[in-house]
Amino acid sequence: MNTYLIYLNSKRCIGCHGCEVHCKTNKSLPVGPILCEISHEPLRSARGVPKTVFSFRSCYHCEDPQCVPVCPANAMQKRADGIVHVDQEKCIGCMACQNVCPWSIPQLNPVSGKAIKCDYCLDRVDLGLKPACVSKCTTHALKFVRLVEV
Amino acid sequence: MSNTVFSLCGMCTVRCPIRVEVENGQVTWIEGNPHILDGALCAKGSAGLALLADDERPQQPLIRRGGRGAGRWEGVSWEIVLDFVAEKLKGIIARDGARSVILSCRGGPFIDPARAFLKALGSPNFTDHDSACGRNVHHASLSVYGLGRVDLAYDIKNTKHLVLFGRNLLEALKVGEANQVLDMLDAGGRLTYVDVRQTITGLKATRFFQVRPGTDYALTLGMIQGVIKAGAYDQEFVSRYSTGFDQLAAFVEPYTIEWAAQECGIKAKSLHGFIDELGEDRPKVIFHPGWMLARYRDSFYASRNLHLLNVLMGNIEIKGGQILAKGAKDCGKKGIRNLVDGIPQPTEKRADGVGWKHTRFDKGPGLFQLFYETMQTADPYPLKSLFCYRHDPLTCFPDPAAQKQALDHLDLIVSIDTHYSEFGWYSDVILPESVYLERDCGISIQKGPKPRLIYRRQAVAPRFDTKPGWWIFQQLAERLGVGQYFPYQTIEDLWAWQLEPTGLTIADFEQKGFVDLADKPVLLALDKLANIYKTPSGKIEMVSEKLTKEGIATLKPYASPLKPPEGMFRLVFGRTAVNSHGHTINNPLLHELLPTNTLWINKREAVKLGISDGDWVDVSADGVSGVIKAKVTEFIHPEAVYCIHGFGRQVPLQSRAYHAGLSDQKLQVGLLNDMDPVGGGLCLCEGFVEVRRSSNNLKRSVEL
């Protein structure tokens, strides 16, 4: 079972796209891949105020991810805590993972020639820190949640 | 080797406090200072890493070899460029005196060396960008309280109701302030938002008024009338601390809620509902008096009314209201030293006329745009040189073509900046400053309810042959024979000299990046409140004594804004959280998010003009035109079109930003001389543009 989740409190989200840049700079990504995404529905009037809701998407870290078995190099892995990540040493950049993912979440890093995706910044998580997008969220709208079985 | 550096961001002029991690001489992580912002930082803040890595910035001192703006530069050493500028300046001063030199900057906490340099030369002509920003708000504040715009801080977090007139504070973003707003909303507070279009700030509002452009003054008049009529104001506060209430009440009588609703194109019922809320929420109501309010010819009066509404709420020096910004003295401490304080005041009168010809304005930085006239007329005396430090007047002021005509009268134009600005590209010399992660700055006081001393600390060595501002001005001063006013060689010398009276050392800053001057917010006791206003009467003046003496009506009858002719629109502009100003447009990671701007146009108007969403449109005004994609939306007033400011840049060496999008300031033709006569701010939204579907749209599909 997955241990973690990134949750967006859309009441606090101001759609500033800070999370996307926090993520990119932490992973030293060039122009091209963006690993998380803020989006919103078209505006609709609610009691005289045009409103919309922001949503956040990165990787769903599926319980049974299709990207893991399809990887010919065993680079795509799912950890015991549920985090799905790419071992950059092993990845050969074939992008089979992207093709098989229903949301095309893994992306090609044009500089390294390898696949890259949201891994909840597992190096930070292992140090007891939060993912970059959550740590630096402009309005503290993103939360890194530890799931508990009840 | 890794270490942590506390510093201040430099991606926009908010200067949020940051914590920077450096490993082997490389910045690996930037976050908001955890002691103040709990890590929070905006997109621009993180993109500081991309700025650092970007090669598309001046990499060494440059001297112009071709015509102005032709882009033929010779790269030289600092020794050569400083000698070159100093020799030129010596010649200019010998012929036309030090008064012929102007120095402008973007304001802020670290301008002391720049100001000191000009003052030491003996020129009175220090100026800044503020007439295209907060001057109207500042003058309005002075006329009400005798206190400047920044002398009152807003305790947004603890307020019950925040009222914003176009102050789009969730996009024109201060990270700390944005969090205060959201905390306030989380605690059940109300947010009323007024604008000609919907914004992200407006999305969070509990009440939204989409008004006709240019009617802010009308709405504030209606609100004042409504508040007084409903008795929803603090009578005791008003009678104890202010003068002129009866005149105000009589003046606003005809400006009823029904009148204001009709003039602004909003519902009277909603405005009545708003007044009822004020009755419930006061005194914890804040009417934000505006920040960038260089917009309409009556913006001064609109801002003044917002100040007056605060007074009517009785919100001064209370939790959840406006709190006087405190300095070192208020905390029983000694302040830091500044270079300018030790330099004799120049005796010449200012070339912009502020202080002698235009006595109604605050002398401080004067009004930049008025120098342009003097450049051309040499009245009261000739102007020969302009230094712009971190300031790009060709982006920030209207009508760059008109500005260039005036600049051509000068013999020496110098740009001191981290990037190629439009102004830098037109200059004679570019002195490249190191970007904020590569430079130190002096110490400054950040006044507020809880004042602190702040500094900017260099995180990594400069990547190119660039230098910090404090060094550049000290070097120029030495070459011009006024080095005695710059008692330092290194930044450590400067810090130690500044801190000497305080008993602090720079080591006191290292742990958190700042030094608090108080443990908790300092609030004045109520009996002290009567003595804080610096107006002639010593009270809050609803009718300003100073303006009356100048022959200016404080209570100005309302005049309805012109309606744009058929097919034309009022051009308004704004910011996003991704780019505050022109200087970050070329940042690789920000450009990736926002490569260009669009023209917002009302759906009904677009249908009339045959424009569909995503069509290219030609936007023109008096012979100037641009092409941009239309964003057709029902969430903008039909009389206005809108674009994000800062685009349409023309520096070829900024390959990403070059000619991307539309420049609003180029379409502000003729607005350089259009000034709010009382507030001194420019009227950047007083221009109309014509919008047509462009012939650039594909007519046929030729390819298969």
What confidence tens digit (pLDDT) does each residue in B461-496 have? 999 999 999 999 999 999 999 999 999 999 999 999
DSSP B501: G
CATH architecture of B62-131+334-516: 3-Layer(aba) Sandwich (3.40)
User: Which residue in B30, B178, B578 is closest to A139 by CB distance?
Assistant: B178
- B19: nearest CA partner in chain A: A136
Distance (Å, whole) CA A11 – CA A65: 31
pLDDT at A48: 78
pLDDT at B279: 96
pLDDT at B361: 95
Domains of chain B, residue spans: 2-53, 62-131+334-516, 156-320, 568-693
pLDDT at B529: 86
Banded model confidence at residue B102, pLDDT cuts 50, 70, 90: very high
What's B124-161 look like in SS3?
CCEEECHHHCCHHHHHHHHHHHCCCHHHEEECHHHCCE
- A50: nearest CA partner in chain B: B203
| CB-CB under 8 Å, B39 with A138 | no
Which of B174, B195, B203, B589 to probe the A interface (max A CBs under 10 A)? B203
Which of A9, A16, A31, A137 to probe the B interface (max B CBs under 10 A)? A16
Residues B590, B579: contact at Cβ < 8 Å? yes
Domains of chain A, residue spans: 4-146
CATH architecture of B156-320: 3-Layer(aba) Sandwich (3.40)
Q: Sort out which chain A residues have CB atoms less than 8 A from B43's CB and list them.
A: 16-18, 20-22, 138
C-alpha distance from B216 to closest chain A C-alpha (Å): 19
Distance (Å, whole) CA A135 – CA A21: 12
Distance (Å, whole) CA B324 – CA B532: 9
Distance (Å, whole) CA B388 – CA B699: 46
Q: What is the mean pLDDT of residues B501-512?
A: 96
Which of B46, B52, B587, B594 to probe the A interface (max A CBs under 10 A)? B46
Distance (Å, whole) CA B222 – CA B218: 6
- B580: nearest CA partner in chain A: A16
Distance (Å, whole) CA B252 – CA B603: 35
pLDDT at B110: 96
Q: How many residues does chain B have?
A: 704
Tell which CATH classification among 3.90.550.10, 2.60.120.560, 3.40.50.300, 2.40.40.20 matches the domain B568-693.
2.40.40.20
Extract the tokens encoding B570. Answer: 């009022």
| CB-CB under 8 Å, A18 with B42 | yes
Banded model confidence at residue A26, pLDDT cuts 50, 70, 90: very high
Query: Could you report the per-residue pLDDT of B591-630, keeping only the tens digit for each?
Result: 999 999 999 999 999 999 999 999 999 999 999 999 999 9
Q: What is the mean pLDDT of residues B158-176?
A: 97
Q: What is the mean pLDDT of residues A60-81?
A: 97
pLDDT at B147: 97
Banded model confidence at residue B699, pLDDT cuts 50, 70, 90: confident
pLDDT at B1 over 90: no
| CB-CB under 8 Å, B577 with A17 | yes
Distance (Å, whole) CA A40 – CA B86: 55
Using the Cα atoms of residue A113, residue A114, residue A115 and residue A121 in order, give the sign of their dihedral: negative
Query: Could you report the per-residue pLDDT of B119-143, keeping only the tens digit for each?
Result: 999 999 999 999 999 999 999 999 9
Query: Could you report the per-residue pLDDT of B222-264, keeping only the tens digit for each?
Result: 999 999 999 999 999 999 999 999 999 999 999 999 999 999 9
pLDDT at B586 over 80: yes
- B197: nearest CA partner in chain A: A50
Q: Sort out which chain A residues have CB atoms less than 8 A from B206's CB and list them.
A: 49
The residue written with tokens 């503290």 in the block is: A140
User: Which residue in A15, A21, A138 is closest to B589 by CB distance?
Assistant: A21
- B577: nearest CA partner in chain A: A16
Banded model confidence at residue B166, pLDDT cuts 50, 70, 90: very high
User: Which residue in B31, B577, B588 is closest to A135 by CB distance?
Assistant: B31
Q: What is the mean pLDDT of residues A29-53?
A: 92
pLDDT at A150: 75
Distance (Å, whole) CA A73 – CA B177: 48
Q: Comparing B2-53 with B156-320, is the CATH topology the same? A: no
pLDDT at B373: 97
The residue written with tokens 């947004």 in the block is: B156
pLDDT at B464: 98
pLDDT at B537: 96
Nearest alpha carbon to residue B444 among B114, B25, B24, B53? B114
pLDDT at A103 over 80: yes
Distance (Å, whole) CA B351 – CA B368: 10
- Which DSSP helix (H) or strand (E) runs through B305? helix B299-313
Q: What is the mean pLDDT of residues B578-590?
A: 93
Paired strand residues for B316 = B322
| CB-CB under 8 Å, B31 with A140 | no
Rg, C-alpha atoms of chain B: 25
The residue written with tokens 């992008």 in the block is: A95
Extract the tokens encoding B16. Answer: 């949020």
Interface of chain B toward chain A, CB-CB under 8 angstroms: 29-32, 38-43, 45-47, 49-50, 170-171, 173, 175, 178-179, 182, 185-186, 198, 200, 202-208, 267, 270, 577-578, 588-593, 633, 635
User: Could you please report the per-residue DSSP string of B197-245?
Assistant: B--HHHHT-SEEEEPPTT-HHHHHHHHHHHHHHTT-S-HHHHHHHEE-H
Question: Strand (E) positions, B409-537?
Answer: 412-417, 429-432, 443-446, 452-455, 514-516
Residues B205, B191: contact at Cβ < 8 Å? yes
Banded model confidence at residue B297, pLDDT cuts 50, 70, 90: very high
User: Could you please report the per-residue DSSP string of B617-669?
Assistant: EEEEETTEEEEEEEEEESSB-TTEEEEETT--B--TT-TTTBT-S--HHHH-T
Query: Could you report the per-residue pLDDT of B176-229, keeping only the tens digit for each?
Result: 999 999 999 999 999 999 999 999 999 999 999 999 999 999 999 999 999 999
Question: Strand (E) positions, A9-137?
Answer: 37-40, 44-46, 49-51, 54-57, 76-78, 84-86, 107-109, 114-116
pLDDT at B530: 85
Query: Could you report the per-residue pLDDT of B395-420, keeping only the tens digit for each?
Result: 999 999 999 999 999 999 999 999 99
Residues B61, B429: contact at Cβ < 8 Å? yes
User: Which residue in B29, B40, B207 is closest to A137 by CB distance?
Assistant: B40
Q: What is the mean pLDDT of residues B315-333?
A: 96
Q: Sort out which chain A residues have CB atoms less than 8 A from B45's CB and list them.
A: 18, 136
Interface of chain A toward chain B, CB-CB under 8 angstroms: 11-12, 14-18, 20-22, 24-26, 31, 34, 43, 48-52, 135-141
pLDDT at A108 over 80: yes
Banded model confidence at residue A66, pLDDT cuts 50, 70, 90: very high
| CB-CB under 8 Å, A140 with B43 | no
pLDDT at B307: 98
Q: Report the alpha-carbon angle B187-B274-B213, nearest 5.
A: 110
Q: Sort out which chain B residues have CB atoms less than 8 A from A11's CB and list them.
A: 182, 185-186
Supply the angle between the helices B216-229 and B245-252 in degrees, to the nearest 10: 110
Banded model confidence at residue A149, pLDDT cuts 50, 70, 90: confident
The residue written with tokens 């400083």 in the block is: B82
Q: Sort out which chain B residues have CB atoms less than 8 A from A48's CB and list them.
A: 207-208, 267, 270
As assigned by CATH, the class of the A4-146 domain is: alpha beta
As assigned by CATH, the class of the B2-53 domain is: mainly beta
